[in-house]
Structure 1
């Protein structure tokens, strides 16, 4: 079974291969239409046979997947704090060298397929030499550069709006409102007003950026989706099945807390404070759909969001870091490593009736082993 993080990485890498393959086919179609499917310069250009077409399709897809893997697993993190334009420029420089290497490898292989000889054959070397001095080399470089630009542009858009949201827009999943069951976690930084006054606006913003960055890996590992950043508050959502599986929604909270604590000394040295947070969790049905005229968004509406916010707001009253509704607790299969304590029933502002709230802690023995 693949982990949520592996599934997410694979789902982000695959579109790169699709982009390269689709654009490669489009360029071949345009060139074929322009030349009436004739090789006008056989001394340097490769004739498009069935075997060459199959090889080219496989090659561009593999190259696209390699670019995607490099982008998702390494390059994206390396330049994560650069501006959009800076990232594009740095990446284009790196990939230009990489793709020249690709041409040096794939052209002799394709020529070998066309001529039915070894890629190291004299005929291939001669044809490759002619290719490097021909207009076909320029055309190929432009085509590859276009594929590179579009895939990097997709990557940046995906990072900015969220891969899941982008895919939902493409597929039109929420073009019509849909009712679904979801779990929500509302997290709020403790003493944020005091910290902001202490640090000033710019320094506080830098702290928030690091604070949210530290949450990213736990959220990914536990199949969560960031719904909103609102000031110092983050709203995380799960499809019901994903949140219940392996207690992802609860384990995500403890993983976020643990990752933040690991960097406690760093926060103290850089900002003079170590941020902490409190969270409320609840489950219920929401209506999900696209909304907006000037700016499209996929939003959730439903009582569960207001209720979760109210639950999170009671953490200070009960002096706990996490509050969970009875509805969610009963849906989970919590093991002995978690200690559950009921805090009784309470009336939530704006709601009729009372709701039982519970808090959860990792048992001391388990924390000691970790």
Structure 2
């Protein structure tokens, strides 16, 4: 609940800032273009300045920002899994249209009182009013821009799309990352029992609960490969408050909490295993069609091999000594040494530890 509120207030802040800027920009454009339009004044007021008009842009931006944040949060949090995209867009469109009618009518009344401009506000004024539909179109365009920014942040991580635009990853860059390979246990057996279609729905449901906690622990999802997901952290974010450890056990807890749902729908409760490792990797853009960021380096292969060792040791979470020494485990967790392991394709052994939750 605490994290959900934090997410909402962050969205609320960004939404208010975005829409205030958007509508202030719109008001300025309308203000400096007013001489080319037929504007009826109730009382001629030559001293009305742009700053006075901007007050209405801020009011409208504040109102739209609050409502927009509430609607987007509620739909994302509670209805995205229940309704398909078409219904979501339909319901959102109806809500926003009704709100625009209400908010612009209110702004018209305020404008008449404070800047003495006669705006149409009679019942049904919006149906034939060109300005209303211009504002509606402007709202749709700005909404698409805001949604695009949110989607790119979700897909690539915060700030990554900006770095791609300025060409930061056009040349390979070396960075230090924590990686987690997380994979479904007994995937072959489950796939054979469920069949391809139902198994795909099963994986979709499993990763839904993973997606709900990724931002909570400052992780980024690099990619999905079948029934496996690859997560990454910037080193400081992964180490902070043991985010890279807490994420796995939080995910495990959520799956168990929804065990009745999985049992009823699929007849099986999902369990996942994971490997954790850290080190320097190369990030670069690849491809011209469907361009994306690619991670290269030995750390990726090593992390994958660590995750594969979970079956041999019958453990759910394994971690390399290299990463463990940088983590300050709390009393909630304990590490169990498993000895040195010569991973497939390696010439040097690697010390592995199992992580257990004590409370």
TM-score where L is the length of structure 1 = 0.83
1:235 and 1:200 map into 2 onto residues whose CA distance is 24
Within 2, Cα distance between the matches of 1:46 and 1:233?
Answer: 66
Quote the residue 2:231 is aligned against.
Answer: 236
Q: Distance in 2 between matches of 1:200 and 1:291?
A: 34
Which runs of no fewer than 5 residues in structure 2 stay unpaired? Answer: none
1:146 aligned partner: 138
Match of 1:119 in 2: none
Counterpart position of 1:218: 213
| Conserved 8 A contact 2:310-2:316 | yes
- Structure 2 counterparts to residues 213-292 of structure 1, below 5 A: 213-292=208-287
d(CA) in 2 for partners of 1:344, 1:320: 14
1:42 aligns with 2:41: yes
In structure 2, the partner of 1:155 is: 147
Match of 1:302 among 288, 297, 311: 297
Do the aligned partners of residues 184 and 9 (structure 1) sit closer, same or farther apart at CA in structure 2, a change above 3 Å counting? farther
Match of 1:20 in 2: 19
Counterpart residue number, 1:94:
95
User: Which residue does the alignment assign to 2:197?
Assistant: 202
**Residues 1:80 and 2:80 aligned together:** yes
Q: Secondary structure at the match of 1:323?
A: strand
**Distance in 2 of aligned mates of 1:65 and 1:127:** 23
Call closer, same or farther: CA 1:296–1:45 in 2, change over 3 Å: farther
How many Å separate the matches in 2 of 1:296 and 1:167? 17
Question: For residues 45 and 181 of structure 2, what CA distance do their matches in structure 1 show?
Answer: 58
- Seen in structure 2, the aligned counterparts of structure 1 residues 215 and 359 have a Cα distance that, compared at 3 Å, is same
Measured after TM superposition, the shift of residue 135 of structure 1 is 9.0
Whether the 8 Å CA contact 1:9–1:72 is kept in 2: the answer is no
Q: Is 1:361 matched with 2:344? A: no
Where does structure 1 lack aligned partners over 5 or more consecutive residues? 116-123
**1:250 to 1:27, Cα distance in 2 relative to 1, 3 A:** same
State the alpha-carbon separation in 1 of the partners of residues 54 and 230 from structure 2. Answer: 46
Residue 121 of structure 1 corresponds to which residue in structure 2? none
Which residue pairs with 1:103 in the alignment? 104
Separation of aligned partners in 1, 2:70 and 2:45 = 29
The answer on 1:329 being equivalent to 2:324 is yes
User: Which deviates more, 106-115 or 165-174?
Assistant: 165-174
What displacement does 1:51 show? 4.1
| Alpha carbons of structure 1 residues 103 and 5: separation in structure 2 relative to 1, 3 Å | same
Q: Distance in 2 between matches of 1:282 and 1:6?
A: 31
Cα distance between partner residues in 2 of 1:19 and 1:316: 49
Q: Distance in 2 between matches of 1:279 and 1:45?
A: 71
Kindly tell me the number of residue pairs found equivalent between the two proteins: 353
1:26-65 paired onto structure 2 within 5 Å: 26-32=25-31, 34-36=33-35, 40-42=39-41, 49-65=49-65
SS at match of 2:325: helix
* Mapped partners of 2:325, 2:157: distance in 1: 30
Shift of 1:249: 0.3
The two structures, once aligned, show a CA RMSD in angstroms of 3.2
Q: Measure, in 2, the Cα distance between the counterparts of 1:163 and 1:113.
A: 45
Q: Is the 8 A contact 1:219 1:256 kept in 2?
A: no
CA distance in 1, matches of 2:254, 2:7: 20
CA distance 1:46–1:291, change in 2 (3 Å): farther
